[in-house]
Structure 1
Amino acid sequence: MSTHVQKPGWFTVKIFNQAVGWLTGRGISIWGSRVLAVRGRKSGEWRTTPVNLLTVNGEQYLLAPRGHVQWTHNMRAAGGGELRLGKNVDVFTATEVADDDKVELLRAYLKRWKAEVGVFFKGVGPDSPEADLRRIAPDHPVFRIAVTK
């Protein structure tokens, strides 16, 4: 498994994520934003972060543009969590998508959010050849979401 991680800078942590989280927490979704809540794999306490919820062919996915970050490790351990938008809370289970099955999902994610996250994909964009998307697939965990409540 890849260990690729791109840690967010000060602006992202202190300004951007706080602003998106604040708006999303009040029910205002920015292009599909949600607040992901997942139990910490060591502490068992809820951890939250803003995420972009991707829908492809009627299925919902969470994709980690920054790579194998803390929420992805926690998701693997917990097997699910909550997606929050204002007072609406969707409890879900998560199944990790195999690298070979990520090409269409990476392409769709980049079509929607390249302006926001494109810098994390090593020059690969929505119109890149399939081989390039396959090359970066191990660096970007993807989870299929199944809402249970």
Structure 2
Amino acid sequence: MTRPTEQRYLEPGWFTQQVFNRGISRLTRLGVSVWGSRVLRVRGRKSGEWKTTPVNVLTIDDQRYLVAPRGVTQWVRNLRVAGGGELTVGRRVQAFTADELPDDAKAPILRNYLRRWKFEVGVFFDGLDANASDEQLAAAAPGFPVFHIRDAARS
């Protein structure tokens, strides 16, 4: 898989980190999934400690995906090393393994992700939406890590 030399990363602002992410994480931990939200738990690549962040799990034809709309975030770096983690909602914990998709396989996933969550993440996609051409999505794909996730028990 090819990765851009300069990896795309949009750091979240104070409001996102201190208010939005904490609020969504709190609701999800209480068992309230907001539009498919889960709390992602993945081991830190350096510390080995569990790190958490809210994510949206996209399901297409019974296949599940994690998309990083902000680019190569800390959770992406950690997941690349760990190869899996846990998704939680309430008391339900689901261990999973993950495989990162190559850029040429991302366009249909990105299209579906934008169709579902553009209102929330559209600002990170530089004007792209679910109606973007395959060529436009393919050109943007290197900036958006995508992982195919499977239950650890089935892997």
Coarse TM-score class (shorter-chain normalised): over 0.9
Other structure's SS at 1:17 match: helix
What is the CA–CA distance in structure 2 between the aligned matches of 1:148 and 1:137, rounded to whole Å?
Answer: 27
Q: Could you tell me which of 15, 23, 36 is aligned with 1:11?
A: 15
Query: Residue 127 of structure 2 aligns with which residue?
Result: 123
Query: Residue 49 of structure 1 aligns with which residue?
Result: 53
TM-score w.r.t. length of structure 1: 0.98
Count of residues in Structure 1 that have an aligned counterpart in Structure 2: 149
Identity %: 53
Query: Residue 65 of structure 2 aligns with which residue?
Result: 61
Q: Could you tell me which of 65, 89, 105 is aligned with 2:109?
A: 105
Query: Residue 38 of structure 1 aligns with which residue?
Result: 42
Return the letter of the residue paired with 1:130: D
What is the CA–CA distance in structure 2 between the aligned matches of 1:132 and 1:121, rounded to whole Å?
Answer: 11
CA RMSD of aligned residues (A): 0.6
What is the CA–CA distance in structure 1 between the aligned matches of 2:44 and 2:72, rounded to whole Å?
Answer: 15
Return the letter of the residue paired with 1:119: V
Return the letter of the residue paired with 1:20: I
What is the CA–CA distance in structure 2 between the aligned matches of 1:39 and 1:74, rounded to whole Å?
Answer: 7
Q: Where do 5+ consecutive residues of structure 1 fail to align?
A: none
* Distance apart, 1:101 and its partner CA: 0.4
Alpha-carbon displacement from aligned partner over 1:50-89 (angstroms, at most 9, x marks no partner): 0000001110000000000000000000000000000000
Moved over 2 A (4+): none
* Distance apart, 1:26 and its partner CA: 0.6
Asked if residue 148 in structure 1 is aligned to residue 137 in structure 2, the reply is: no
Other structure's SS at 1:49 match: strand
Return the letter of the residue paired with 1:42: K
Q: Where do 5+ consecutive residues of structure 2 fail to align?
A: none
